[in-house]
Structure 1
Amino acid sequence: MRNPQIRLLALLPLLAVGSVAGAKSMGDQDRALTLEVAEQAGSVEIELIADSATSQKVDYKLKLTGSSTARHAGSTSVNAGERHVLSRLKTSFAESWCATVDVTEANGEQYTLTAGACAQG
């Protein structure tokens, strides 16, 4: 993600978010995790970023699908105000790609972050 020719897209405003039924909706700024995407000719790299306003435990399941499928799941403690990369995945793609992250925060709030083709439909 350090190549200056890569288009870095801050997808937070474009993320399609699905809240679990019965859970109260959180504003984007309150979420502990976000996605950042860099896409260039036939490949995409995503970073799962922790940037929580409160110190808490966060569980996540990340899936990136393009020409192949990559998965990463984890449970981590994040400190308030400390921004860092939890996971970085890269894949090639012919026509489209899709990234999804299912997140559960310490307060029980659940949401899904999406990017790529699955965020458009």
Structure 2
Amino acid sequence: MKNIIFILSFFALSACTLNASFIPEGESLSNAVVGVPYNEQIKIVGGAVSSLDENGKERFVGEIAPNNVGLSLQYCNNSPANNCVQVKGTPIKSGVVKVEISGVLYGTNIASGSGFDKTYRITVKNPE
């Protein structure tokens, strides 16, 4: 009986999958204002983020669209986990900016890695 419980426990644990969650949780980041420096962090929780694509090439986990608004993405620090992304810059025009964060979490011995995809919206307003 103990062997059966052990085997069932092993299969239950080996079927686990890592899932990413994000901070902030919603679909919008704080508003930005044209000409005012902007800085917002996005944390990816749930495991270390792979910086390689399926072909083994280095890739960044996010993009901004449109890319000509004065905002850019970079990692928050030099952590090998790559689980913090920073939206930074000084907006040069108003509108809605989409920030897409996507990638893969590394797996572990007891949980397989999984993909993630999250899109945020930033509203850039003209100064009053």
Tell me which interval the TM-score lies in, with the shorter structure as reference length: 0.3 to 0.5
Which protein has greater RCO, CA pairs closer than 8 Å, 6+ apart? 2
Is the radius of gyration larger for structure 1 or structure 2?
2
Tell me the TM-score normalised to structure 1 length. Answer: 0.41
Q: Comparing both structures, which one devotes a greater share of its residues to strand?
A: 1
